Amino acid sequence: MSAKILSGKEMAAELELQQTARCVELNKNGIHPCLTVILVGDDPASAIYVRNKERACGRIGIESRTVRMPAETTQAELIAQIDALNADNSVHGILIQLPLPKHLDEAAALMRVRAEKDVDGFHVYNSGRLLQNNPTVLPCTPRGILYMLKKSGVQLDGANAVVVGRSNIVGKPAALLLLRENCTVTICHSHTRDLADITRRADVLVAAVGRAKFITADMVKPGATVIDVGINRVDGKLCGDVDFDGVSEIAAAISPVPGGVGPMTVAMLMENTLEAACKASR
Ligand code: NDP
């Protein structure tokens, strides 16, 4: 293996120290940052993600509240809960843990969160601001990806960046952030022709597909930086969208799964919550 490992775990741990110090300062000024997660139903993966967020809040000193609602919650009940949190001045960040049960309207729920409390950055106001190159709250995973790239000193200006995946929460905002850094960006998806020809031109390759080991060594340019966003389970073991063993032989740098983008996503959620608390106090 020759690639440098971009350890999100280490970067997130370093950030946590700074965030803890910031939280102490905020407390001194009478500001007590608070993140509230709404968890509907009993999806086991969601429960793990929520627990990770609660623990991160605990380590930093952010107050963490979790509103647990049953799987049969109606849209009206969910909206009423969001409204109550919107009106609660002690709550700075509201996160609706996705996916919601199928009968609920996810987009309507996300839209209902007050844009200033939308620490996930999924509200159309916040995604619109990003689209217009004047961002307010950045979505956590794309923000984490950019942080990793910058922190590792990857040359972005003028680089060819390829993002595989076009979801509203990862692919599209990641592409927009790379565009802001003056990358030449290509977005690929399930209808893309000759995918490997495109990915092989990438200086920076972001894989957000949701398919285990989908990006193989023959799809990667020697010396590229590869960011693996995927979280997949194969035989109970966590793995990314990138075939780590093969790709790490030819890439210059690669983020692992686990220990790559995942911890950075949580770190950026903490960042967004601290920023929301600061803004609310102004
Ligand atoms: P989505 O399912 O919403 O999007 C997947 C994207 O991959 C779609 O745009 C889809 O194209 C594209 N795609 C699917 N198959 C192919 C293919 N054969 N060739 C090219 N493109 C393809 O997933 P998300 O964006 O929400 O998440 C992506 C992955 O990242 C998942 O594994 C998820 O678990 C993980 N994730 C990790 C996070 C972290 O913190 N590390 C946070 C969020 C997500 P099309 O649009 O045409 O269907």
Q: What is the pLDDT of residues 116-140, one digit of tens each?
A: 999 999 999 999 999 999 999 999 9
- The owner of tokens 């509203």 is 168
Mean per-residue pLDDT, 202-221: 98
Ligand 1 in reach of 259 Cβ (< 6 A)? no
Q: Which atom of ligand 1 is nearest to the CA of 144?
A: 40
Asked if 97 is an active-site residue, the reply is yes
pLDDT class for 176, splitting at 50, 70, 90?
very high
Ligand 1 in reach of 165 Cβ (< 6 A)? yes
* Number of residues written out for the chain: 282
Please name which of 163, 229, 244, 158 lies closest in space to residue 198, comparing C-alpha atoms.
Answer: 163
Tell me whether the CATH fold assigned to 30-114 matches the one assigned to 140-262.
yes
CA distance 185 to 166: 12
Asked if 132 is an active-site residue, the reply is no
Q: What is the pLDDT of residue 225?
A: 98
Mean per-residue pLDDT, 51-68: 98
All structural domains of the chain with their residue ranges: 30-114, 140-262
CATH code reported for the domain at 140-262: 3.40.50.720
Ligand 1 in reach of 193 Cβ (< 6 A)? no
Tokens, residue 77: 């009940």
Instruction: Say which of 81, 118, 120, 241 is annotated catalytic.
Output: 120
How is residue 97 annotated by DSSP?
P
Ligand 1 in reach of 78 Cβ (< 6 A)? no
Beta strands 184-188 and 225-228, pairing class: unpaired
Beta strands, E only, 136-243: 160-164, 184-188, 204-207, 225-228, 232-234, 237-239
The mean pLDDT of the chain is 97
Pick the CATH number of 30-114 from 2.60.40.10, 3.40.50.10860, 3.40.50.620, 1.10.599.10: 3.40.50.10860
Q: What is the pLDDT of residue 282?
A: 82
Q: What is the pTM of this model?
A: 0.98
Q: What is the pLDDT of residue 1?
A: 64
Asked if 203 is an active-site residue, the reply is no
Q: What is the pLDDT of residues 145-175, one digit of tens each?
A: 999 999 999 999 999 999 999 999 999 999 9
Instruction: Say which of 19, 53, 203, 243 is annotated catalytic.
Output: 53
